[in-house]
Amino acid sequence: MKALILSGGKGTRLRPLTYTGAKQLVPVANQPILWYAIQSIVAAGVTDIGIVISPETGEEVRTKTGDGKRFGANITYIRQEQPAGLAHAVKVSREFLQDSPFILYLGDNLIQNDLDWLLHKFQQQNLDALILLRQVPNPSAFGVALVDEQGRVLQLLEKPATPPSNLALVGVYFFAPTIHQAIASIQPSARGELEITDAIQALIHQGQTVEACQLEGWWLDTGKKDDLLEANRIILDTCLTTSIDGEVDAKTQILGRVQVDRGTRVINSTLRGPVIVGRNCHLENCFIGPYTSIADGVTLIDADLEHSVLLEGSRLVGIQQRIVDSVIGQRAHLWHAPRRPKALRFMIGDDSQIELI
């Protein structure tokens, strides 16, 4: 059994952050989104993993993630020259996949459920495809499935104007090698891509066994700012434990579940969890409210923020008005002139410099 994680695409919904970096490397609770997918796959016992990368951000993904040893995996990188669809990504990965069954995992998705029971169902029932579904209020924004009472998939449609159900395809799939023949039989869609929904529909037409499972836990597609913040909130809520390895002075208050990594100094501040602070940060005269993730090397002086994600090396000085619901890019510098507005909300790309006047 192998796994294929898709880490290409242009990430247009997360711009300006993704002008300078891969969307799958944007951190949630101070860990790249992509790494959650790798860890979930390895936890299910699959360690031979291919990662599909783009020419624009592939080297960054390769450098940051490495050969897989840190995860107990062996990672092979596969270059997709252009984002021509999920089925196209599988097609260009054929040399890696060979004739092995595999998990296909979209690298900007997070799911709560473990994969091992799904893998067991796929293998025990000798399925050609197992897809994961979740009820959503806006199915026309997703690939949508129509299933019978036994869980067999009858029809798949990509972003239909009139959805046949409210069951959206989650970005995790299990495939037998028969998917390759199905992909070879389809044509690009109206948007010029080889759609994985069309390939699965081809399996159904060929009489192959395609079944579905509905997810009970949460599913997060982190492709937009608000989705990214929601993923950060849920991960901090469910996974964070208190750990103070940095230097915290006597004037600082730590309330709730807070993690402060080594090399970080916190002076005369209040940290109200869940909050995670990375390595080698400097926090002084700050209030850091719930659901905030602060990456390595961040400087915060006279700052007040909550429900936000700050990327590596960012610097906020003199921002005493509360910053909420914000994503601040790597090395962004935000400072304050004397006159102060009442409220601030941001999505700031890497290397930005902003002065509020």
Q: Hey, is 200 helix, strand or coil?
A: helix
Q: Taking a C-beta distance cutoff of 8 angstroms, is the pair 301, 317 a contact? A: yes
**pLDDT at position 340:** 55
DSSP E strand stretches across 21-138:
27-28, 31-32, 48-53, 74-79, 102-106, 109-111, 129-135
Task: Specify the residue for token string 């592939």.
Answer: 58
**pLDDT at position 353:** 57
Query: Please, where are the H alpha helices in 171-214?
Result: 178-184, 196-205
**pLDDT at position 109:** 84
Q: Taking a C-beta distance cutoff of 8 angstroms, is the pair 262, 245 a contact? A: yes
Task: State the pairing for strand pair 333-336/315-317.
Answer: parallel
- The CATH homologous superfamily for domain 242-356 is Hexapeptide repeat proteins (2.160.10.10)
Burial of 84 (0-12, 13-18, 19+ CB in 10 A): middle
**pLDDT at position 10:** 52
**pLDDT at position 31:** 92
**pLDDT at position 341:** 54
**pLDDT at position 176:** 97
Question: How far apart are alpha carbons 128 and 177 in whole angstroms?
Answer: 8
Q: Taking a C-beta distance cutoff of 8 angstroms, is the pair 4, 105 a contact? A: yes
Q: Give first-to-last CA distance, the chain, whole Å.
A: 57
Question: How far apart are alpha carbons 151 and 264 in whole angstroms?
Answer: 51
Phi, psi for residue 189 in degrees, rounded to 5: -75, 180
Spatial CB neighbours of 262, under 8 Å, sequence gap ≥ 6? 245, 246, 279
Question: How far apart are alpha carbons 38 and 32 in whole angstroms?
Answer: 10
DSSP state of 159: S
Crossing angle of helices 58-65 and 33-43, rounded to 10°: 60
Please state, as a whole number, how many other Cβ atoms lie within 10 Å of the Cβ of residue 177.
14
DSSP H/E element including 147: strand 143-147
Hey, what are 284's tokens? 């002084």
- Considering only the C-alpha atoms of the chain, give the largest distance between any 2 of them, rounded to a whole number of Å: 70
**pLDDT at position 139:** 84
- The CATH homologous superfamily for domain 2-235 is Spore Coat Polysaccharide Biosynthesis Protein SpsA; Chain A (3.90.550.10)
> Structural domain boundaries of the chain?
2-235, 242-356
Question: How far apart are alpha carbons 192 and 186 in whole angstroms?
Answer: 12
**pLDDT at position 343:** 64
Report mean pLDDT in 10-residue bins for the chain, 357 residues: 84 51 81 93 96 90 94 96 91 96 91 87 94 87 82 82 87 95 92 90 91 83 78 91 95 96 97 96 97 96 94 89 88 73 64 59
**pLDDT at position 63:** 92
Hey, what are 232's tokens? 């950060």
**pLDDT at position 153:** 85
**pLDDT at position 345:** 67
DSSP state of 344: B
